Amino acid sequence: MNIRNVIVAAVVVLVIIVIIFVSVTVINKDRKEKIERNYGISHTETKITSNGVETTKPEDAVPPKEQLIQNLEDKGYDIEYFDTVFDSDISCHRIYATKDNEFIDICYDLTKENAETAFYEYEKKYDKYYLMAMNGTFVYCISDKKVFKDAGFKSLANNGIQYINY
């Protein structure tokens, strides 16, 4: 009976060790990915100033198309224009700008129905980025924080799907 109790206790301890090891491995795997995934309204911003409360609406976080183009031209980006999302039949005004290894790929004028489909096309295409988002009817992928600022984005405010890669 004594040997049986020792064996049962040893098995219980071994099972606990395995559970802890697997848990730590899974947690560390999630931390290595370092992608924050947000769905719905996220990163809303409010500033309290002497003029009152100022909020950044998610749809206002994305610069207007003409302003984005001007900002990128002023910063020396090479800009290409497309009328579809990659090789799909999703119609949009797509701007792809690069400078060295930096990039921004953004679609304007998507319908609400096409925006989510376009986002999933971006998800298939890009695996290295700082920010990938569907913000209302805008879909964009940005390589790093510098491009984010160069393009004229005002905030991370978002209403849709947003992946931030730290």
Same-domain status, 50 and 18 = no
Say how many domains are in the chain: 2
CB 41 within 8 A of CB 31: no
Domain limits for position 12: 1-33
Same-domain status, 61 and 113 = yes
- pLDDT of 24 reads 66
44 has a pLDDT exceeding 60:
no
62-120 pLDDT, tens digit per residue, is 999 999 999 999 999 999 999 999 999 999 999 999 999 999 999 999 998 899 999 99
Same-domain status, 135 and 113 = yes
pLDDT top residue among 17 and 134: 134
Same-domain status, 98 and 151 = yes
**Strands in the chain per DSSP E:** 35-42, 45-49, 52-56, 78-84, 91-99, 102-108, 131-135, 138-142, 158-165
Give me the chain's average pLDDT, please.
84
60 has a pLDDT exceeding 50:
yes
Same-domain status, 20 and 72 = no
Same-domain status, 5 and 65 = no
Rounded CA separation 129/103 (Å): 9
Question: Whole-model pTM?
Answer: 0.72
Same-domain status, 149 and 73 = yes
* Torsion of Cα atoms, 107 then 100 then 129 then 106, to 10°: 0
